[in-house]
Structure 1
Amino acid sequence: MKYILPLLLISLLTACGTNTPDQPEAAAAPEAAAPATPTSPDEVRISSAQAQAAGVETGAFVWKNMTTDVQANGSIDVPPQNRASVSAVLGGYVQSVAVLPGQQVARGGVVAVLRHPDYLKLQQDYLQSKARVTFLQKELQRQQTLDAEDVGAKRKLQQAQSDYASEQATLRTTAAQLRMLGLSMSRLDRGEISPTVPLVSPIKGYVKTVNINPGQFVNPQDVLVEIVDRSDLHLELKVFERDIARVKNGQRILFKIPSRGSTEDMGARVFLVGKAFNDDARTVSVHAHLEPERDDVLPGQYVSAHIQTAGARQRTLPEDAVIQAGEFSYVFAQTGPGAYRRYKVRTGATENGDVAITPLEQLPDTTRLVRHGAYFLDAELKKGQDAEE
């Protein structure tokens, strides 16, 4: 009996231990599904987590009326009538210079004074010719009186008429030369002879260059002072042969002056399109008025311009949806969950952050295109290509 009780106790304990349920093993966390291997060198696959982290957004083309541009270079200029070169009518020595570059001068304002003995000789010739005209006029009157009384010879009357007309021509010619020199005829008629002549500006404007100094001898062909009138500043652009047919009067121009170090766009409008090619290149000159007129630009400044030609409705995408790659560009389209394919396109005009797109492959308007995050997809595509190599 004493052996039976321990055996029963052992049996009960063994039975209890056998019926105790086993603890379940911890379930392994399911791994994120890895992207499938791309089937094309232009295809890339990413997980939904990657797409969310990179901010990939898809959508369709947006049709917009995009303005096409013609690029052209040129400069700020003024019309020929707003530019003057001051020269000496007769050679002489510079006695004084009255202006400096950048100085404003009025029309008729003195810019320099010249002196030379020839100026005195010309005034002397004028006064002598004037006195001789007076004498010949009286001689002609005497011969006319004698002829009327029929006591004078016809030959003497004709000679007097000839001499008087010839001397009058000489006097008028000499007077014209003196006026060209800028001398006062009224003072000369009073007998006041001047040893100097003034050089005056023919227009109102600003002095561009001064090429003389006191004591220098100047010739009639020398340009002594240049003056520019800035009241009619305009653009003079050079447009290439392939683009000139698209440029018309009235088109708006946006231009920049690189030397200003500013990205500010300034405006102008085409008012004249050249009708012949320039001799130095296959370009045509296009002139445009500044809109509005500006006083903070200078003649001769180099400009980079975009002539806005006729617009057309085109398919567009945001600029960051387009991958620039040499001659062509690329966009990405979604072909399935997590799958994207690269398509070749040609870009056009850019306006307000959108760029015109011309697909070079079959790409319907209903295609789901990547509008944001294209650069991430391009990086993943190149990473995969590098890994295969």
Structure 2
Amino acid sequence: MKSKINVLLFVLLSIFGACGSPEEPVAEQETQGEEAEGHAEEEGTVRMSPQQMESIGLQLGTLQSRNLSGNIKVTGELEVPPQSEANVSATVGGNVQEIKVIEGDKVRKGQTLALLAHPELVQMQVDLQEAASRLQYLEQEYQRQQRLYEQKVGSGRDLQEATSNYSTSKAQVEGLKSRLRILGLNTGSILSGKIFQSVPVVSPISGYVQKVNITNGQYVSPQEQMFSVVDRSQLHADFMVFEKDVSKVKVGQKVIFSVANAAGREYTATIYNMSPAFEKDVRAVHLHADIEGSTENLIPGMYIEGRIATDTTTALALPETAVVQEGEQSFIFVKTGEADAEAHADEENHAEEEAPATGEQTAGKVWVFKQVPVVTGASSNGWIEVKLLQPLPDNAQIAYTGAYNLISEMNKGATEHGH
């Protein structure tokens, strides 16, 4: 009897177990499906509380139709033409007696930059005085022999010798005068008996002293560079434009550029020449552009970056601050809805429930933004062309500012959910 009861219990348990087992996986699948659906709704979206939006200065706006110019990015440096730059050297060796300028001084053409002294300079002046005295004597002898010859008293040979000596001495005097004039000395004063103890080194152009390479007392050999003078009034921008963009560039176009020492300031230049020479190594050509306005703080040799505005087009555009780049893809953030700020605060701060929320913390609505991929195009004056990959509602509200904050917040949220 006892064995029959055990068999009956086993049969009943088997029946009830078979009926109940299919329900448990179904419930589990439904729960997992709901969780998956919840996560799918959140993917590519981010919520911003009123405090977060205020801290990043979030602003909204719509797609706008604007006139945009295509830009070609160029780099280069500031230069002056060869005739506006001079390396000043001594034409004769000597010791530096005095330096009359310092770096940065403005000088005029012919102004004395330094004085050189050397015994050889004095000897050259003495040689001129002696040669001039001999020339005077030989000139008188030539004139005397010429008169005697005309009177049939002197011989032709004596006249020929006097003429030769006079011509040789005259050439010698003129040569010494030329050498001393090159040194900047007044030969008239020397012939009247004055001896200069030093010679001036003068600037061949007007401009600014860029470099001083000498010191007092230093011996300077001929042709040694002593000063560098630059006329910055002829300063221009020399850009390199690559082969693929050459056809888009022409004389008369504007170039907006900046330099490293003036962060945030932009200069405008106008292209006046395109070099016919092609740089094979970098596959680019040189562009020369006149700089508009003051060039006071610009120095030759400075590295510059610029952009050339090309064809103008009308397109849908957003502020550049509305577009964020992640890898090879560009994104914008579109407002898709609002949620209760207090509920959002409870979700975000459930670990801090003991700290009661204030009215300021819960005031307003939480805004929900969706990440939308786009393709960018031409840009101009802080606006950039945006091509939509998927349609948006009319007057869709787009985050004009804070795009990088939004994508950072979204990625942070994705990481937290992943954990």
TM-score (norm 1): 0.72
Structure 1 Cα separation of the partners of residues 241 and 216 of structure 2: 45
Greater Cα shift, 131-140 or 110-119: 131-140
- Check conservation: 1:333, 1:369, Cα contact below 8 A: no
- 1:157–1:104 distance in 2 versus 1, CA, 3 Å: same
Change (3 A) 1:145 1:387: same
Aligned ranges 1:63-82 → 2 under 5 Å: 63-82=65-84
Counterpart selection for 2:254 from 252, 255, 261: 252
- Which stretch of the first structure deviates more once superposed, 311-320 or 127-136? 311-320
Partner in structure 2 of residue 301 of structure 1: 302
Secondary structure (helix, strand or coil) at the match of 2:255 reads strand
1:289-339 CA deviation, whole Å, 9 max, x = no partner? 22212423334433322222332334433435534222342458999xx99
More deviation, 217-226/284-293: 284-293
Is 1:201 equivalent to 2:222 in the alignment?
no
1:174 aligned onto 2:168? no
* Counterpart code for 1:240: F
**1:105–1:207 CA contact under 8 A, matched in 2:** yes
- The 3 A distance-change label for structure 1 pair 97 and 319 is closer
Provide the rounded CA distance (Å) in 1 between the counterparts of 2:212 and 2:380: 46
Partner amino acid for 1:345?
V
- In the alignment, which of 101, 126, 130 is matched to residue 128 of structure 1? 130
Q: What is the Cα deviation at residue 67 of structure 1?
A: 1.6
CA distance 1:121–1:190, change in 2 (3 Å) = same
Moved more, 147-156 or 248-257: 147-156
Query: In the TM superposition, what are the counterparts of 1:1-389 in structure 2 within 5 Å?
Result: 62-260=64-262, 262-277=263-278, 281-330=282-331, 342-352=372-382, 354-357=383-386, 372-373=398-399
Q: 1:165 to 1:279 in 2, by over 3 A?
A: farther
Superposition TM-score, scaled by structure 2 size: 0.67
User: Amino acid of the residue matched to residue 372 of structure 1?
Assistant: I
Percent of aligned positions that are identical: 32
The one-letter code of the counterpart of 1:347 is G
Cα gap change, 1:213 to 1:251, in 2 (>3 Å): same
- Unaligned 5+ residue runs, structure 2? 1-33, 337-367
Letter paired with 2:67: N
In the alignment, is the contact (CA less than 8 A) between 1:258 and 1:302 conserved in 2? Answer: yes
Residue-pair matches, total = 345
Q: 1:174 to 1:312 in 2, by over 3 A?
A: farther
8 Å contact kept, 1:44–1:381: no
Describe the SS at the equivalent of 1:243.
Answer: helix
Amino acid at match of 2:192: R
Deviation at 1:218, TM superposition (A): 0.7
SS in 2 for 1:269: strand
Instruction: Letter of the 1:254 partner, please give it.
Output: I
Q: Is the 8 A contact 2:69 2:378 kept in 1?
A: no
Q: CA deviation at 1:112?
A: 1.1
Does the 8 Å CA contact 1:64/1:313 hold for their aligned counterparts? yes
SS of 1:311's partner is strand
Distance 1:371 1:233, change over 3 A: farther
Go from structure 1 to structure 2 and tell me whether the alpha carbon gap of 1:289 and 1:56 turns closer, same or farther (over 3 Å shift): closer
8 Å CA contact 1:246–1:309 kept in 2: the answer is: yes
**Is the Cα–Cα contact under 8 Å of residues 334 and 399 in structure 2 kept in the other structure?**
no
- Decide whether aligned partners of structure 1 residues 388 and 370 sit closer, same or farther in structure 2, where only a CA change above 3 A counts: farther
Query: What is the distance in 2 between the residues matched to 1:381 and 1:105?
Result: 61
AA matched with 1:200: V
The whole-number CA distance in structure 2 between the counterparts of 1:128 and 1:314 is 86
- How much has 1:58 moved relative to structure 2? 8.9
Distance 2:280 2:127 in 1: 48
Greater Cα shift, 155-164 or 207-216: 155-164
- CA deviation after TM superposition for structure 1 residue 182, in Å: 0.7
Is the partner of 2:129 in helix, strand or coil? helix
Could you say if the C-alpha distance between residues 315 and 89 of structure 1 is closer, same or farther in structure 2, counting changes exceeding 3 Å? same
RMSD over equivalenced CA pairs, Å: 4.1
State the SS of the aligned residue for 2:196.
coil
SS of alignment partner, residue 268 of structure 1? strand
SS of match in other structure, 2:122:
helix
- Structure 1 residue 223, shift from structure 2 partner: 0.9
- CA separation of 1:207 and 1:45: change in aligned 2, threshold 3 A: closer
Higher normalized helix content (fraction of residues): 2
- From the superposition, tell whether residues 132 and 46 of structure 1 become closer, same or farther in structure 2 (CA, over 3 Å): closer
